[in-house]
Structure 1
């Protein structure tokens, strides 16, 4: 029986990295596209007058499911045994569950049905993440994680554009859901090529609700580096979300170019992709991660200040590049840094799922926070200054992490 090392030393090859990135595209396109392109259109067709409230309810159902299912499936994957290993069964099972959820969504003609489908899809994606995300600390040595996770950030940054292009060929939400079900086949090569050794025979830890709930406790006194790294991720995602979520309305209300949204999204996404791989590779070569997180945070803050002071079309494009560069630098290093501060080797699945929540919870907060800022704290200029301030705070907190250079 092969014995997994707590700290991997064998480097993964190019084929493994390619399969990992391809699987990431499959998962990210299937995860990001429905709430942006399909569900709003489907809900508007079902209830045109109540579409805003209906979409908010559907989104909340998916978010709540992810908060519970992600850490739960991560904890269960840590304890999974079988011939397929610990992680692969969750990737395969989650992908099949997502495909079933897409088929279910394609048949819905009520907002309640769409909400149930959103919940089922979130649960399936949580299962995929429980297996997929944990393969890096399981199998990739620390000195290669920046490169691997830098490449892994490419699907996250590019999935929205890719999903939009794929769904442009469909004619209805129902056909779009079925296409996305097919996209999930992209996870298959990774399941085939990745090794997923079973844990040692003596490593048998029963699942307990106390241990599971303990994973939600992010205590700087007990796990300081993990807590500060997660706080940084939360703030950086919050700053990026505040700076990007209302760009469609900014283009319409301030710049007067609402039809150029895709241009801004593409420019920003290309900048993120270009820098994430370079940043991850550089952090491996330097053996330093915090300075790059700090630099990315600072660049993001600069973009917010620039757009607040000069809200023009030209500056919007410039800031789309600057913000993408900053976020690309940050996201190329953040994942590797998180894997180095996980508190317990036997609970990687659970703890990484909690870390993933710090990248998704800000998007639950952003709409309400942005509404208050736009109404009472200076409009769009205030919004982008707050984005800059939050990003700068993330830059400060990263220095509280002591175990990673």
Structure 2
């Protein structure tokens, strides 16, 4: 499939235009997207990606069209898994909900730029060295194995190398100033924690690219299809974050599904490498006659595995329990962090009570496991103790030496 220079530039300008539209009409003014807003714009971006794929199918042919859709679905699934790490970063840095959009959009832009560089590098390696297929295949097989060693929420540390270096080199404040990157503290201009959040998201996304780029090159070697499938999978990721962040912990089998998909693509790459072999110590540098996996079969396997893992996750009692535990943990932490917004505190504590009620209705085997989580139980007790203290202060009133509590109410 040959793509003209004009088509390349029109595609790039279209993607940049969508990002600018997203910034000026949604992100520039800090707000918390409603569920309806997130759903509408997520559907719109998915629709744009699907229409583009239909165009590729019509003007490029069925084979490039199938390659694009296989690449897009794979990259989208990997991006959903990445959202879990973004959620951990946001929670660890205690980013205000209304200000999370700017950090996410920065992460998307940074990711698109970084992955474009990786795509060009990967294409150069593949066009110059046939052994690059072996390397990419082994990377995916190793990644699939690592995914099976699920670390859980606490295993995803946002304090990566880039963040540690930034903490040492940059003077940052301890508090946020909206979604601003700079603020004035003690008469000095300093950076806000928002910058560290963006660095954390950008740094972790570089690691994600090391997995996703070999994966999509295993499905198509056409640079235009690799770039567009990657770009369209990232567009709308911000809206998707606000749409499904309450379900991320529910998708407990998604990691296993992604491991199967990456292992499958890794095998596909190695078979292709054997078919195109010119490595001297393998079959004396001659191609090996092996069966290659077709694009149609790849697309079917990817979609089938994702459907099975998502349905199994949503139907799993363990998934419901894990989702409720994670939500209770987040709301308890948020309640303890919020000090000067009584209405928000009441809302958060109400959600926490609802989640604790759901935990009480779980089967005994799940409740017993939850009671064994000392850090979680300590956190919940702290939230209740803080609530009792706050209510006690309000009842005493400002006349009993609790003026601050009275003012807060």
**What range describes the TM-score normalised by the shorter chain of this pair?**
0.3 to 0.5
- TM-score, length basis structure 1: 0.37
- Computing the radius of gyration from Cα coordinates, the structure with the larger value is 2
